[in-house]
Amino acid sequence: MLFVRPGRLSDLDQIEAMARAVRPILHSLPPDRRALEARLALSQDSFRADVDTPGEEFYLFVLEDTASGRLFGTASIVASAGYAEPFYAFRNDALIHASRELKVKRRVHALTMSHQLSGKSRMTGYYLDTMIPPELDGALIARLLSRARLMFIAQHRQRFAPEIFTVLVGITDDKGVSPFWEAVGRKFFKRDFAEIELASGGRSQTFIAEIMPSYPLYVPLLPPDAQRVLGEPHPNAVQPYSIHVEDGFEPDGFVDIFDAGPVLTANVAICETVRNGVQRRAIRSGEALNQGTPYLVANALTDEFRCALAYLPNPLPGQSATPLPADVALSDALADCLLLANGDRIRCAPLNPPGERP
């Protein structure tokens, strides 16, 4: 069984192996053992800390196979993007250029360096191994890994900002060349994308303010191939993109400053996984159901947070999305995995948001 839990320093070897496998390279999962170790340490401290308002916490989750102990993925949350520093993104504004006399009217888009995402919580560092056990449904596992973070956020709202966002990797070719970087970033940095991407950490470094354009960039003046990739996810990011969109995240007019990858934003409260989640009590009941509706089930712990998939009985037709009884029967295997005793509090949310279900 695959489940999501907080990463530990003892996971470092496996996380490093994953970081080295990620393509394209993510600044949020750098192939750098010391950086990863620092992040794991920060994450452990963050899960243990008593937090009442989001600060510099960073939460790193891993996807583990109970049978082998092997990790198959990782995903993280930055409690407050940029924290004490600004978090930079390009805001894509439409400017109306109209002349009544000439009877012309046009929307001219311009990209402006914006700090507006600063302080919002950021979902990042998503990586799912392509070698997950073949008997498992990859689409379900991807949603488990991505949405487990929302299950954690739902139970620890005070640890996060009311608004969350994610920046997905933009288009690069097989040599790692980003057409947007070539047209914009390179002109300012005079360096390769990968080099600056790693140096940039979380889009908050002082050098971004020093180097990147202080005035808006007119989109129609950019080369066509740079315009085409604006807000487009890399093929490897299409699945995470749809998972977020299903949850109610919206491409809200921001793109990444380096590769123009899409930025998706959402209000935590109206996020499907948060909104449709319910608190129940767990009842250990032997065998697992193999049919019903796939649910995310998470325990109510912090440092020992765990989230896994379970099939729970189908809601009756016409009923709301939360028909679960007060006591939810879970298999012993799942209850063990989630560290649950009879009567422990759990949170359940449909894996696929209502309306997405077949």
Catalytic residues: 234
Q: Please tell me whether residue 222 binds another protein under the rule CB under 8 A.
A: yes
Cα atoms in the Cβ-side hemisphere of radius 13 Å centred on 270: 8
Q: Please tell me whether residue 278 binds another protein under the rule CB under 8 A.
A: no
> Alpha-carbon distance 75 to 63, whole Å?
8
Task: Tell me how far, at minimum, the Cβ of 206 lies from another protein, in Å.
Answer: 7
Q: Which of 94, 107, 162, 220 binds another protein (CB under 8 A)?
A: 220
- Cβ distance to another protein smaller for residue 220 or 325: 220
Binders of another protein in range 13-72 (CB under 8 A): none
Q: Please tell me whether residue 229 binds another protein under the rule CB under 8 A.
A: no
The 318-337 site mask, x for binding another protein (CB under 8 A), equals: --------------------
Calculate ∠ Cα 120-126-132, nearest 5°: 155
- Cβ distance to another protein smaller for residue 203 or 347: 203
Q: Which stretch binds another protein (CB under 8 A): 9-17, 54-62, 213-221, 260-268?
A: 213-221
Burial class (CB in 10 A: 0-12, 13-18, 19+), 112: middle
Per-residue CA distances from 125 to 15, 270, 277, 337, 341 (Å): 11, 23, 24, 24, 32
The 97-126 site mask, x for binding another protein (CB under 8 A), equals: xxx-xx-x-x-x-x----------------
Task: Tell me how far, at minimum, the Cβ of 111 lies from another protein, in Å.
Answer: 10
Helix (H, G, I), strand (E, B) or coil at 338: coil
- Cβ distance to another protein smaller for residue 208 or 268: 208
Task: Name the β-bridge partners of 278.
Answer: 348
- Cβ distance to another protein smaller for residue 79 or 184: 184
State which amino acid sits at residue 276.
N
Q: Which of 152, 160, 189, 193 binds another protein (CB under 8 A)?
A: 189
> Alpha-carbon distance 229 to 22, whole Å?
21
Which stretch of DSSP H or E encloses residue 35? helix 33-48
Q: Which of 50, 215, 316, 341 binds another protein (CB under 8 A)?
A: 215
352: its two tokens: 């696929």
DSSP secondary structure string for all residues of 243-295: HHHHTT-EEEEEE-TTT--EEEEEEGGG-HHHHT-EEEEEEE-SSPP-SSEEE
Task: Tell me how far, at minimum, the Cβ of 218 lies from another protein, in Å.
Answer: 6
> Alpha-carbon distance 186 to 193, whole Å?
7
The 157-186 site mask, x for binding another protein (CB under 8 A), equals: --------------------------xx--
Task: Tell me how far, at minimum, the Cβ of 33 lies from another protein, in Å.
Answer: 22
Applying CB under 8 A, which residues contact another protein?
95, 97-99, 101-102, 104, 106, 108, 110, 183-184, 187-191, 196, 199, 205-207, 210-218, 220-223
